[in-house]
Amino acid sequence: MAKRVRETGSEGGESAAAATERKVKTPRLYRVLLHNDDYTTMEFVIWVLRTVFRHTENDALAIMLHVHKKGVGVAGIYSREVAETRVVQVTRLARDHEFPLKCTMEPA
């Protein structure tokens, strides 16, 4: 996506030489991952997926089963700031409920 930016001269007129093009990059995306453990309940993982990541019941169940069977699964893909916030939210909720659920992020 390119945007044309025009600068105005001191008299308010547009200068053709001052017109420049800048390319705007989309932000890099990050995967938020949930890791399987032997203590966190499946119900809690589904609740986290529905509450924090806003997945439907069916999607949350599918992601939870993937995490359970494969050891790790993607809960969502977000910009860096949002991904960091979700990791902190999940970790805090897990500790508040006395579960060792591990949540990390990696570049998508």
Backbone angles phi, psi at 13, to 5 degrees: -85, 160
The pTM (predicted TM-score) of the whole model is: 0.77
**How many other C-beta atoms are found inside a 10 Å radius of the C-beta of residue 73?**
21
Judged against a pLDDT cut of 90, whether residue 81 lies above it is answered with yes
Helix (H) or strand (E) holding 90: helix 80-96
Residues 42, 66: Cα–Cα separation, whole Å:
11
- Cα dist. 47→24, 52, 55, 61, 94 in Å? 37, 8, 9, 10, 11
Query: What DSSP state is assigned to residue 83?
Result: H
Percent of the chain with pLDDT over 90: 75
pLDDT tens digits, residue range 33-69?
Answer: 999 999 999 999 999 999 999 999 999 999 999 999 9
